[in-house]
Amino acid sequence: MDNSSDALLPDEGLVRRWGLSGSAGPLPVLPAEFALEKQSFDFLRAEHGFSAMIEVNGRRVLFDTGVTADGLIGNLDRLGIAPDSFEAIVFSHGHFDHVMGLNGLAERVGRANLPVLLHPDFWLRRRIVSPDRTLELPTPSRSAIEGAGFAVVEDRQPSFLLDGMLLVTGEVDRTTPFETGMPPAHQALRDGVWQPDQVVHDDQAVVLHVRDRGLVVLTGCGHSGIVNIVRYAQRLTGVDRIHAILGGLHLRDGAIVPATVEALAAEAPGVLVPAHCTSWKAQQALAAGLPGAFRPNAVGSRFEL
């Protein structure tokens, strides 16, 4: 799941696309009364949310679940991916646009007893306060998730999945001066008091090491700052080379964009796939600053790294 759906994107090297021009999978059909053939093509849904499948040696982990109950499960069906084929679920953080699609998955697979890895701050109530209104964000329910049969695993520290092949970063160290997180309007309820929550401590990423190529870093929103995340992954693994960076970067506008582009260009990743919460301006800056690495994302894109 991602914010963009583009059925006309062609395959491009290591990227296989799903749609009219790609080879990632056949297009399903739906009944269509207004078509002479009484059927039409079905396409993947996009929504303001994120979800990715990680597959290593045939073993699968689900990273985030999107925002709507029918979004993730509907796209799994269209892609021909069995919902019960995942060994674990990792949540990047507790914002609703990465979590609430779990409902549709749970209804389909039943009590699967899947481990769900997350940071303890995942459960915080959060809101956004502006001069004219206060918007309280939907909060993940521990009782509902555990009641559905998922085994919650909380950790602030790094951990491993798939027999050590997949690293979950846990809480990311914040070291750059320009990645300052969310605006003060983003607040969390702590000890009964609403407080600014710029840092979003629960933001975590997953990391793989591809032999002879370097690290693959996958983010949900990148609230920790993508440069912080990359440098933290390097420190955790002892591997300096970056092969690919994929996922939401939470880059909007302002001085943070050129600073991020400069820092990522210095890392020279082979593949850069900004998604979800990366603004059009930031996408353009990243494409200009890292033209050889930049790849646009769309729902159903398969990156074979």
User: 146-165: buried (b, 16+ CB within 10 Å) or exposed (e) per residue?
Assistant: eebebeeeeeeebeebbeee
Inside any domain, residue 9 = no
Beta bridge partner(s), residue 38:
none
Average pLDDT over every residue of 224-233: 98
Could you tell me which residues come within 8 angstroms of residue 54 by beta carbon, excluding any fewer than 6 positions away? 60, 61, 62, 63, 166, 206, 208, 218
Inside any domain, residue 218 = yes
Based on the structure, what is the number of domains in the chain?
A: 1
Average pLDDT over every residue of 217-237: 98
Entry pTM: 0.96
The candidate with the shortest Cα–Cα distance to 161, out of 117, 120, 221, is: 117
Inside any domain, residue 1 = no
Inside any domain, residue 171 = yes
List the structure tokens of 224.
Answer: 């920790």
User: Using one digit for the tens of pLDDT, what is the confidence trace for 85-99?
Assistant: 999 999 999 999 999
Q: Which whole-number Å values give the CA distances from 246 to 11, 112, 208, 271, in the listed order?
A: 17, 28, 12, 8
Inside any domain, residue 222 = yes
Percent of the chain, pLDDT > 90?
A: 97
Inside any domain, residue 103 = yes
The pLDDT mean for the chain works out to 96
List the structure tokens of 249.
Answer: 């970067």
Do residues 205 and 166 make contact, with C-beta atoms less than 8 angstroms apart? no
Inside any domain, residue 92 = yes
Strands (E), the chain: 15-16, 29-31, 39-41, 52-56, 59-63, 86-90, 115-118, 126-129, 134-136, 151-154, 159-161, 166-168, 186-190, 193-196, 206-210, 214-219, 242-248, 271-275, 302-303
- Domain range spanning residue 91? 15-303
Inside any domain, residue 284 = yes
pLDDT band for 112, please (50, 70, 90 cuts): confident
| Sequence-separated contacts (24+) of 127-134 with Cβ below 8 Å | 127/186, 127/187, 127/189, 127/194, 128/185, 128/186, 128/187, 129/185, 129/187, 129/194, 130/185
Q: Report residue 112: phi and psi, to 5°.
A: -85, -10
Q: Which amino acid is at 120?
A: P
pLDDT band for 143, please (50, 70, 90 cuts): very high
Does pLDDT of 16 surpass 90?
yes
pLDDT score of 232: 98
Could you tell me which residues come within 8 angstroms of residue 73 by beta carbon, excluding any fewer than 6 positions away? 83, 101, 104, 105, 107, 108
pLDDT score of 144: 97
Q: 12-21, 153-162, 218-227: lowest mean pLDDT where?
A: 12-21
Could you tell me which residues come within 8 angstroms of residue 284 by beta carbon, excluding any fewer than 6 positions away? none
CATH code, 83: 3.60.15.10
pLDDT score of 28: 87
